[in-house]
Amino acid sequence: MRLHLLAMGLLATLAACAPIPMSEPPTRRAMAVGERPAANLVAGCVANYRADTDYFPDKAAFAYSAQLRVEYHGHWKRVTFRPSVDTREVLRLVLVQCGTPPPKLGPRDTLVEIPVRDFATANVSLLGASELLGIDDRLKGVPTRNVSIPAIAARIESGETIPIYAAQHGNGEQAAALGADLFFTFYSAYPDANIHPLLKRLGVVSAPQADHTEPTPLGRAEWIKYLALFFNLEKRANQLFDERAARYVELRALTANVEARPLVQLGYPESRDEWSQAGGRNQLYRMIEDAGGRHAWHDNAIAGSLTYAPMEKLFDRAAGAEVWLGNFMPGAADMATLRRDHPRLTWLRAVQGGRVYWFDAGKVGPFANSWSDQGMTEPQDALAELIAILHPELLKPPAKQRFIRKIPGGAA
């Protein structure tokens, strides 16, 4: 992770020298709204505010997320974000319908006028959700030029969406230069890496985004509702989430009673001496369990990431894992390359048996693939692929892997 951030930080520094084209956000027009609106106002401002009117008949609620809650108050919403990681911070966002008066704000409240007209993100996880919600045409800035979603890639190519090389955690100066209504920041487990305090000083309205530290896949997928709140698109988000959650639950039921549960090791070699992996409360481990597997770190209570150095420390628990599931860093092209670059890993049972898989199918560039861009909103597809790997007797693999790639080359 540290090497990745260093490399992306260098790109951010170089990119900061290039001018960011400025453009005015779309003009909001005032609209008369009835006493009992039939739907949320997805464009424009209220022209005839009434204090006793509920301007959000379409509402969302978070049933799975461990970090998010939302309250509705007629013409405004309050979103509370309590991070799963221990940063000792609680953030509150007050979303006020355009054309209505703001409520009294507390010291931790951030005011956001909605519906948001345009936005930028430092987290590629939101790209797939943006396309599903139909708001990718409002996307002014993304953290990288390489994305797996054709419509957004086309916008980048045409210059309508600007790559700001935000190193996931964000680039404050470029975020300010974009002039977007809202900037979604990547929320880090390391407080010093979070840039929302800097953005506030720069006058940039920002919102944290931390799907990656949810303890369950469905909790992570609910972040599409979080994005929708800023655009009054709760009805659409509820429909999208419910469809995916129903399929996930259906697939999970396939493995509920399996007795043989393969041991799975998650993570990747960050360097020749360090191993990085998700903590035992991360949603990827829950997906392994839901797919009929088990993992060696069930007693670990961390929702973020862990680093082991020297790398041999992981062998105490993981050397006997039948399957190795790599994530984040791009995987090796083949098993021969993996063994050449990391000879110590040939001790792993998964490497010896040729059962090494990686979340990098559909790779379009460094750290850019279908899982990074679309995995948040499609946990049911990733679960299906994982079940087919761990229990092929229960589910056949899809004709084309969307998220998980088997490292070719076979056993040693």
For residues 305 and 361, which has the higher predicted lDDT (pLDDT)? Answer: 361
With pLDDT > 90 as the criterion, what percentage of the chain qualifies? 62
State the Cα–Cα distance between residues 386 and 264, nearest whole angstrom. Answer: 11
Question: Does residue 1 have a pLDDT over 70?
Answer: no
Q: What is the mean pLDDT of residues 9-24?
A: 45
Residue 166 confidence (pLDDT): 59
322 within some domain: yes
- Provide the token pair at 84: 């799963």
Q: What is the mean pLDDT of residues 167-185?
A: 78
pLDDT band at 228 (very low <50, low <70, confident <90, very high): very high
Residue 347 confidence (pLDDT): 87
Identify each DSSP E strand in 122-250 by its residue range: 139-142, 162-163, 182-186, 206-209
pLDDT band at 160 (very low <50, low <70, confident <90, very high): very high
Q: What is the mean pLDDT of residues 218-247?
A: 98
254 within some domain: no
The CATH number covering residue 34 comes to: 3.40.50.1980
Question: Does residue 409 have a pLDDT over 70?
Answer: yes
Residue 384 confidence (pLDDT): 98
Within this chain, do residues 283 and 171 fall inside the same structural domain, yes or no?
no
pTM over 0.85: yes
For residues 266 and 243, which has the higher predicted lDDT (pLDDT)? Answer: 243
Q: Residue 58: which of 231, 209, 246 has the closest Cα?
A: 231
pLDDT band at 216 (very low <50, low <70, confident <90, very high): very high
Q: Residue 35: which of 16, 19, 24, 49 has the closest Cα?
A: 49
Counting every residue written for the chain, the total comes to 412
Within this chain, do residues 309 and 336 fall inside the same structural domain, yes or no?
yes
210 within some domain: yes
Within this chain, do residues 320 and 394 fall inside the same structural domain, yes or no?
yes
Residue type, 28: R
87 within some domain: yes
Number of domains in the chain: 2
User: First CA to last CA across the chain, in angstroms?
Assistant: 29
- Give residues with Cβ within 8 angstroms of 251, minimum separation 6: 290, 380, 383, 384, 387, 395
Residue 296 confidence (pLDDT): 81
pLDDT single digits (tens) 131-157: 999 999 999 999 888 999 999 999 999
> How confident is the prediction for the chain on average, in pLDDT?
88
The strands making up 268-269's β-sheet, listed across from edge to edge, are 268-269, 275-278, 305-308
Q: What is the mean pLDDT of residues 66-91?
A: 94
Within this chain, do residues 179 and 49 fall inside the same structural domain, yes or no?
yes
Give the dihedral of Cα atoms 277, 325, 318, 355; nearest 10 deg: -160
Within this chain, do residues 211 and 349 fall inside the same structural domain, yes or no?
no
Residue 254 confidence (pLDDT): 98
State the Cα–Cα distance between residues 14 and 356, nearest whole angstrom. Answer: 36
For 131, list phi and psi in degrees, rounded to 5. Answer: -65, -45
Residue 167 confidence (pLDDT): 53
pLDDT single digits (tens) 360-392: 999 887 778 999 999 999 999 999 999 999 999
Within this chain, do residues 113 and 160 fall inside the same structural domain, yes or no?
yes
253 within some domain: no
Using the 8-state DSSP alphabet, how is residue 43 labeled?
A: S
pLDDT band at 2 (very low <50, low <70, confident <90, very high): very low
411 within some domain: no
C-beta contacts of 69-72 below 8 A and 24+ residues apart: 70/229
Question: Does residue 217 have a pLDDT over 70?
Answer: yes
Residue whose tokens read 């979103």:
79
68 within some domain: yes
Residue 63 confidence (pLDDT): 98
Residue 170 confidence (pLDDT): 61
Distances (CA, A) of 279 to 214, 276, 304: 11, 9, 5
Within this chain, do residues 68 and 161 fall inside the same structural domain, yes or no?
yes
Domain that holds residue 54: 2-246
Residue 383 confidence (pLDDT): 98
pLDDT single digits (tens) 323-349: 999 987 889 999 999 999 989 899 899
Residue 312 confidence (pLDDT): 77
Q: Residue 71: which of 27, 24, 106, 119 has the closest Cα?
A: 106
Q: Residue 264: which of 311, 215, 320 has the closest Cα?
A: 320
State the Cα–Cα distance between residues 393 and 12, nearest whole angstrom. Answer: 47
Using the 8-state DSSP alphabet, how is residue 134 labeled?
A: T
* Cis amide leading into 103 (omega within 30): no
Within this chain, do residues 239 and 269 fall inside the same structural domain, yes or no?
no
Q: What angle do CA 125, 56, 175 make, to 5 degrees?
A: 35
Question: Does residue 75 have a pLDDT over 50?
Answer: yes
Lowest mean pLDDT among 18-22, 43-47, 354-358: 18-22
Within this chain, do residues 283 and 216 fall inside the same structural domain, yes or no?
no
For 356, list phi and psi in degrees, rounded to 5. Answer: -115, 130
Question: Does residue 22 have a pLDDT over 80?
Answer: no
Within this chain, do residues 234 and 277 fall inside the same structural domain, yes or no?
no
Using the 8-state DSSP alphabet, how is residue 257 labeled?
A: T
- Provide the token pair at 339: 């063994």
Within this chain, do residues 215 and 269 fall inside the same structural domain, yes or no?
no
State the Cα–Cα distance between residues 5 and 93, nearest whole angstrom. Answer: 28
Residue 21 confidence (pLDDT): 55
Of 211, 246, 281, the residue at which a domain comes to its end is: 246
Question: Does residue 285 have a pLDDT over 50?
Answer: yes
Of 225, 246, 267, the residue at which a domain comes to its end is: 246
Identify each DSSP E strand in 282-334 by its residue range: 294-295, 305-308, 323-326
Within this chain, do residues 78 and 206 fall inside the same structural domain, yes or no?
yes
353 within some domain: yes
- Provide the token pair at 391: 């229990």
pLDDT single digits (tens) 41-59: 999 899 999 999 999 999 9
Residue 400 neighbours by CB distance under 10 Å: 7
Of 246, 272, 292, the residue at which a domain comes to its end is: 246
